[in-house]
Structure 1
Amino acid sequence: MLPIIALLGRPNVGKSSLFNRLVRANKSITHDMPGVTRDRIYGEVTEDEVRFAVIDTGGMLPDADERDGGGMDKSVFDQAVEALSEADVALFVVDGRDGMTGLDQAVSEKIRASGKPVLLIVNKVDGPELEAKATAEFHALGFEMASVSAAHGYGLADLRLRIAALARPFVQPEPADGPELGLKLCMLGRPNAGKSSLVNALVGEARQIVSDIAGTTRDSVDIGFEKAGRRYTFVDTAGVRRRSVITDELEQLSVYRALSSSRRADVTILVLDAFQGLSHQDKRLIAYLVDQRTPFMVAVNKMDLVPKAHVEEVRAGYAEALRICPHVPVLYISALTGAGTQKILPLAEDIRRECVIRIGTGRLNRAMAEATTKHQPPVIKRRRAKFYYLTQADEDPPMFVFFVNDDELVTPAYAKYLEGQLRKLLGIRMAPLATVFRASHEKKEAERPLSNRAPRLGKDRRDMETPQGGKGQGKGAGKAPATGKGPSAGKNSPSAKAAPAGKGASAGGKATAGTKRAAGSKTAQARKKG
């Protein structure tokens, strides 16, 4: 268990900016508008060989119960109090530009009552020349003090060392095999689908603020817990609405964080609202996850609100929408009553196990042979795809490469058939699976069109061109003979002997088949005349 450091303070003093600086990542959304952070956001820091966890919290309003009658402000305050009770060290953040306010004093009393070690951090101090003025009023609180600027980085190096020194006494020895990271699960869905309620139901406590108001969760929140000796991390995300209806910059950032979290998680749980029915946005999210090859399951929530007469109709609607990804498992649950929620974690474990599977080449080739023998590939233009071997190119999720004589001979329908056979023969039922077809050798260059070929030689030797004269050839080389009786050699050539006139002899003194046929035809004509 890591030492836990909690960032606490009234709204808009820069806690989230300081949190991002400490964890060296933009993990918490920051905005000039007060009250952006609502839930507890966790991060890890290693400084001076000390590893510790940091919690960002929403702005504390001790009089929230009186302000909104137990509404959102009260929920945010309760989350901050939970973080304080969980923490080993409290970092009390105040605004050096505003000076001490009555709200700062009220928060300090709440923190002091916890009995935890406290470090007072005066934020928005942009340089050493401003320290004296910015910190003057806060000495009255009696806490150890540090001056920083989360926006510009002033004083942060010293602050990190001081926090590490405060955390060191709470360090516990880690197991010999190192810390278990556990399974990371992302909750994704439209606003108000019940994602936070489902997280609370699985964790067993109110870790996330839940409300009937859509958009209660604004940031992606990591929630770690253990169950049956296994560690899990839930990432609760903001609801994802259609891009066309998002006009707020804060919501745009929240949606980006939500989709990004789904890509980083081991398994994504797409939470849908059974009572509201399947929407176009739900279908877009399904298509997005399929396109990204994201391992995911579908949890159809709020089934307790669906009348029994319409249950089968609801199931049929979701089955139709998921035809594009028949491998994705679907659970029908109720986060409120807990019905069906006990199946989620075991199912996530099974999906993850399939994603990291590694299969030997021998088993793959046996599966390929069985699949292609059972149903041969179709004939395309009098040719059929011939499969040579199969290999696994990647895992998490798995990708398989078929080597064939010509990848263009594999039709989409046959590729779909092979994917289904691989799932069946290799036991990959729920993980995304990719198949690639690759030609085992370079394709031969297509034959050139007839018009681009070199001219063919004629049947008669007279159509042939004489090669250009070279060494040892006579003066007449390369010139067509004036007599029209075929090419002749130069005067100096040993074979340059003239054929007797009328006999059709060619160079070299041998009669050709053409001259013999000509002589025969003349003899026949003479006989007719006679």
Structure 2
Amino acid sequence: MTLPVIALVGRPNVGKSTLFNYLTRTRDALVADYPGLTRDRKYGRVKRGEKAYLLVDTGGITDNVDGIDSVAKRQVQIALEEADAVLFLVDVREGMNSADQAITDMLRKLDKPVILVANKIDGINADIATAEFHRLGIGEPVSIAATHGRGVNELLQRVSAILPEEEEPTEEELQDQGVAIAIVGRPNVGKSTLVNRLLGEERVVVFDEAGTTRDSVYIPFERDGKKYTLIDTAGMRRRAKVTLVVEKFSIIKALQSVEKANVVIYLIDASEGITDQDQHLLGMVLDAGRALIIGFNKWDGLTHDQRELIKRQTAVKLPFLDFAEKHSISALHGSGVGKLFDVVHKLYDAAMVDMSTSVLTQILKDALAAHQPPQVHGRRVKLKHAHQGGRNPPIIVIHGNQTESLSAAYERYLINYYRQKLKLEGTPIRIVFKSPKNPFKEIKNKLSDRQLFKKKRLMEHNKKKRIADKKKKK
């Protein structure tokens, strides 16, 4: 499966970054620091419901063709080339202007679905405010207030309707693929060198078969009678064929490759240390839930002090990846590379493990006996039983009462407890809590945003009326 890509475009200050942060549920937007890519393009992973996709936030563009605006426009064009669909944001408070028309003209040239998003409708009549934007001729606008999340559910439904349908791989296709290994990292850290080293081992049979998905290269091969598929995010092509800046380093390609993998080898240039870009990319790998090996390349060329510095940086900058396997290698000379295959199999087994309901429930009871969940409003949260909810990564579903009140600290405690008892190394574990449905909450969720807004206004009106009546009586 390939994650679809959605681009956010629009004038400056129309709320693109606000919507980006709301959808990705983070304020740590991924920004490429590769020379030639401006900091205006941000990347994030969105998972709402059953569908997931990659979101690209772009810098605001105007109808000015000179100076920095022309650079921003070029970045938007690159984002549009990567995208499967486009969210075009407009500001209903400022109204339509020539820049909106210029962006519309740009989008008309694309053979891609576009959703017009009318932002900042809070406190005003959406129908009246969005009327003039119908003149753009790109469809019915979706009215939202990105700051408060109003209308976003309707927007997500529209997005799901235009995304391409993805087919789950069959069991036979998964077996033919073998263990899928994605090698990712910043530019020039030695990814291609590691790929060639892994393929250059003795008793390796290579099938020259390039993938077609966004120029990532998929290399099926065999080693010791076992099947593998290497996913090379570097793109094994001649430099003369690389024309666009984005082709030299595409975060989109890297993230889509991570989604297709069973195990990710994230390569870090140990001579440069762990950068902010490494932290962001590794955070995206963690969000995808893939088993992870962090390879510190060029280790043999470091002094003792440099090696100690890397160890300290790992403890300080990557505490959220304490489960990941860390290995020191030299892709150029081959030291430590041979051991990676054994580690890959160990992590693959952990990520694809089958867990019985009885075992998971018993471990839950043991965890509760050792450390009860804290009380919420004087009541103890009850966790009753557990079962497996998925693989790659392992997902454990725990049923109980008031589970939505459990703290993140207690969730981490349960994850670490399960990891220790099940001996799952190198892979993240996800826990999903489920409580009995609240019928009153369901009724509230069925109300539209407009109904909720009207209900809120009516409650405010009634409150003011009661206050006024009390004053009259006095």
Report the TM-score when normalising by structure 1. 0.45
Larger Rg: 1
Q: Which has the higher contact order (CA 8 A, sep 6+)?
A: 2
Q: TM-score, normalised by structure 2?
A: 0.50
Larger helix share, 1 or 2: 2
